[in-house]
Chains A and B, each alone.
Chain A
């Protein structure tokens, strides 16, 4: 058995990037999802949607070339690709909520076996918390991928039977990509598709708070 491996945040992003079909309109959330833009497979071209009103967002602006009227939702100066467009905030979320975005990738605190997502507030955390576009995106993306670590720093499963953190949306997650596994959320439950190198299905089940189905074996996670 090879050493048990946990994917880095970059490797989780690399693995999630393989789920993006060519020519897709894609929205990336904060955290690990935001790293995906730097890890697209060479043969895949996608169009990034930014919820502050950009379609066709390009890479981060180079030092010295920043324009602070051209930023992403995280305030980072970005660039445009040819064919990009601007629109106001209502249209930006008409796209997320109305089923026009092909794939959205969000971070997560918890995902339930039914695909419920909690990703905007940790109970007991200081301050107001903030929802931003997460609830609109969760409600409307054609396909929703969640990227997160498989367990919390304290070792608690983040994939659970029922979310205990404040919810972002019900039954909205399609695919979970963690440092240990790729899991599809199916109507009948969670289907383990791939595991990180060195891990058995049984070991993974112990770190998961809801039952995992599998086809008897699960191939190793692919990442470039």
Chain B
């Protein structure tokens, strides 16, 4: 069996080098890999390109990495009204932003996961999102070309993993996590519980183990909140 279980959060993020492109799961306060984010803050990786729906809530979630000036560029859909550290850094031109419609953010990551070199969509046609993008008419509709978003790492939050890395998620904490798991080269998941292989019914697996490379049980660990 391929060894995917890491005994510590620090070990799970130990090789993330400066300049890495990292996806972060979570939406609406649910499903954020908050413990892995804190481990990454401690490690001090710099010049990160972050791919995330939001840009943190004060110093919570991704806010911690903005507070520590670890992020240089962010691809996001809705930075959020309380993304104070991000907004400060954006105003000071210490971080750059690419705003992407939420569903298109998903599909660009999914294109990367699926080995597709982009797709055409009507979303954003005629808006500032379309500036600089190839436009053509398909089935009578104006469309723009959207390109895949790749990442070196995905940091995600699951509820339960088996020892192979099959994942389930709790309630609406699923959100971006399964998509990012598929899109990144290396997917690191923090879970509440690691269970023996076979404990999760095959038909209940949401993210199959092939997409998961490192699993760490975060509940009850040092950073857990």
Contact = CB atoms under 8 A, between A and B. Distances in A.
Interface stretch (B7-15, B36-44, B132-140, B176-184): B176-184
Contact of A133 (B103, B122, B142): B103
Interface stretch (B104-112, B193-201, B210-218): B104-112
Nearest to A94: B103
Contacts of A207: none
Given A73-B28, A94-B103, A135-B101, A88 B177 contact: yes
B145 to A, nearest CB: 15
Interface stretch (A9-17, A47-55, A103-111, A210-218): A47-55
A52 B87 contact: no
B28 A128 contact: no
B103 A167 contact: no
B127 A166 contact: yes
Secondary structure dominating the interface of A: loop
A26 B174 CA distance: 21
Contacts of B97: 128
A131 B102 contact: yes
A75 B103 contact: no
A132 B28 contact: no
A71 B29 contact: yes
Nearest to B74: A128
A132 B174 contact: no
Interface residues of B, number: 50
A193 B138 CA distance: 34
Q: Of B78, B110, B127, B129, which is in contact with the most chain A CB atoms at under 10 Å from its CB? A: B127
Contacts of B79: 127-130
B100 interface: yes
A145 B34 CA distance: 37
Interface in B130-166: 142
B123 interface: yes
B175 A69 contact: no
A18 interface: no
Interface in A54-98: 54, 67-75, 86-90, 92-94, 96-97
A109 to B, nearest CB: 13
Contact of B107 (A90, A116, A140): A90
A220 interface: no
Contacts of A90: 103, 106-107, 109-110, 179
B25 to A, nearest CB: 9
5 contacts: A51-B102, A52-B30, A89-B102, A116-B126, A133-B102
